[in-house]
Structure 1
Amino acid sequence: MRKKSLATGAVAVAAALILAACSDSGNNQATEATTSAAVSATASAEAAADHNQADVTFAQQMIPHHSQAIEMSDVILAKEGIDPRVTELAQQIKAAQGPEIEQLQAWLTAWGQSTSSPTSATSTPNMPMSSPGMEMPGHDMPMQSTTMPGGGQMGGMSGMMSAEDMAALQNAQGVDASRLFLTQMIEHHRGAIEMAQTEVDSGQNPDAVAMARTIADTQQQEIT
């Protein structure tokens, strides 16, 4: 009987130790989960806070600016008799600027900001975009015009094309279309570089500033 009592006692102690260990393990897991959630929330808050108005303006204005460059590229790619070097440039522009639009939209969403710019001018009103989900904010904004080389009109701020500019590109054919696309895109890129330089000088978010530097470098090379 004494041996049986000792054995029973040993089992009880072992069970108690196992329960205590399980309890500690559960507490540790709960603590780790809570800590992980807190760290994640803090990181998200820091990422959202790490921006200023210059970053927001840059993102909101660069989205329609990039969207129009893609629209212009689609117009020229749909034509026949275009210099292969021009079509290659148009494809290059689309490949670079499409993902940048998605990244800019993601930043604005993370920052709790609208993906539409309240001040940016755009291209052709009511003209459908070439890519699904890519909207051109500000269609009802007034267009400003400046004279382009050759007498054409550049609509809007920072190199944006006017409705007339886009119609001229749409109607041009062959060598004339290639030449007009290049002339318009040079002005368009100059506007983007100006916007990007403002972000480099005044922006706070390191990723947005890095994108601005890339845009300035890439588009200057394309201008050349």
Structure 2
Amino acid sequence: MTNRRARILAIVTLALVLPLVAVVVIRAGGDSTTGTARPVSTPVATTPAASPIPTDLTVIVPGRPGESAATRPATEVRGAGATPHNALDVEFVRMMIPHHAQALEMARLAPDRAADPDIRALADRIQASQGPEMGLMRGWLQTRGLPAEVQGHDHGAMRGMQSPEAMRQLAAARGADFDRLFVRMMTEHHRGAIELATNLLTVGADLTLNEFANSVATEQTVEIDRLREVLGS
């Protein structure tokens, strides 16, 4: 499951964030005085250019996470561009970012407060997955020139979001009391994220974002089962 999620996240990251990555262009002719290749720091345009692409350019294309970059002729490279989306895709991303942020806030409390090592391990897992996912979603909005925040939206009303008082109680708890609160609150929180993600699957237009939402729903369902196992509930 972890390997499958990593592959999906790598594919989604490449599709959503590649338009933000500047590529390095190298002119094949080089410097006439030194005989060495001369770098040109101009990124490849993501829209069709008025003039043809010079045939003497090569482009270093970033690889997926864990993979090496590849060198290709400039004529073979095109920007990924922004995939078609609708208002419900945008709403999902804008809601999921603060939703993930609160999960990370809870997870960061565990190392100093949890008694059960399995709770600490789950908290580490949440940080390792949801931190990069927040960056991915911010990149999705940035690629489309959309702000992450909108006026008048009450994030606290989303399903699964914990109240400020509940967050204070969790921060004040220690040992077994923290473990019980953490399991209860994170389970509720994950159920809210699953609802947001599965709802998008029926109304979203961005197919790559739908794949990401499906990955979120699948992974957080698995984590709910693990949270239950920790306390034997």
| Deviation of 1:191 (Å) | 0.3
Q: Say whether the 8 Å CA contact 1:189–1:219 is kept in structure 2.
A: yes
Change (3 A) 1:175 1:117: farther
1:164 aligns to what SS in structure 2? helix
Which stretch of the first structure deviates more once superposed, 89-98 or 156-165? 156-165
Q: Within the alignment, does 1:88 sit opposite 2:121 as a pair?
A: yes
The AA in structure 2 aligned to 1:166 is: M
Q: How does 1:185-204 map to 2 (within 5 A)?
A: 185-204=186-205
| Matched residue, 1:27 | none
How many residues are paired up? 156
Task: Write out per-residue CA displacement over residues 156-179 of structure 1, whole angstroms, 9 at most, x where no aligned residue.
Answer: 321101110100001111101001
| Matched residue, 2:165 | 164
| Matched residue, 1:71 | 105
| Deviation of 1:119 (Å) | 5.5
The AA in structure 2 aligned to 1:69 is: A
Q: Within the alignment, does 1:112 sit opposite 2:133 as a pair?
A: no
TM (normalized to structure 2)?
0.62
**Distance in 2, Cα, partners of 1:61 & 1:74:** 21
Which 5+ residue runs of structure 2 have no aligned equivalent? 1-50, 56-73, 226-233
Give the CA RMSD over aligned residues: 2.1
Task: Write out per-residue CA displacement over residues 140-198 of structure 1, whole angstroms, 9 at most, x where no aligned residue.
Answer: xxx5xxxxxxxxxxxx3211011101000011111010010000000000000000011
| Deviation of 1:115 (Å) | 1.3
**Distance in 1, Cα, partners of 2:119 & 2:153:** 27
| Matched residue, 1:14 | none
Task: Write out per-residue CA displacement over residues 26-84 of structure 1, whole angstroms, 9 at most, x where no aligned residue.
Answer: xxxx62349x79x846x52xx25x111111011111000001000000012222x5200
Please list every run of at least 4 consecutive aligned residues from structure 1 whose deviation after the TM superposition is greater than 6 angstroms: none
- Equivalent of 1:32 in 29, 53, 62: 53
Change (3 A) 1:217 1:119: farther
1:78 aligns to what SS in structure 2? helix
| Matched residue, 1:57 | 91
**Distance in 1, Cα, partners of 2:184 & 2:96:** 20
**Distance in 1, Cα, partners of 2:129 & 2:118:** 17
Q: Say whether the 8 Å CA contact 1:61–1:117 is kept in structure 2.
A: no
**Distance in 1, Cα, partners of 2:78 & 2:162:** 43
TM (normalized to structure 1)?
0.64
**Distance in 2, Cα, partners of 1:119 & 1:33:** 49
Q: Percent identity?
A: 38
Give the structure with the higher percent strand.
2
Q: Say whether the 8 Å CA contact 1:57–1:117 is kept in structure 2.
A: no
| Matched residue, 1:212 | 213
Give the structure with the higher percent helix.
1
Q: Say whether the 8 Å CA contact 1:60–1:115 is kept in structure 2.
A: yes
**Distance in 2, Cα, partners of 1:163 & 1:108:** 27
Change (3 A) 1:172 1:119: same
Which 5+ residue runs of structure 1 have no aligned equivalent? 1-29, 123-142, 144-155
The AA in structure 1 aligned to 2:127 is: K
The AA in structure 2 aligned to 1:51 is: H
The AA in structure 1 aligned to 2:103 is: A
Change (3 A) 1:103 1:199: same
Higher Cα Rg, which structure: 1
The AA in structure 1 aligned to 2:94 is: Q
Task: Write out per-residue CA displacement over residues 104-125 of structure 1, whole angstroms, 9 at most, x where no aligned residue.
Answer: 0000011121112546545xxx
Change (3 A) 1:213 1:192: same
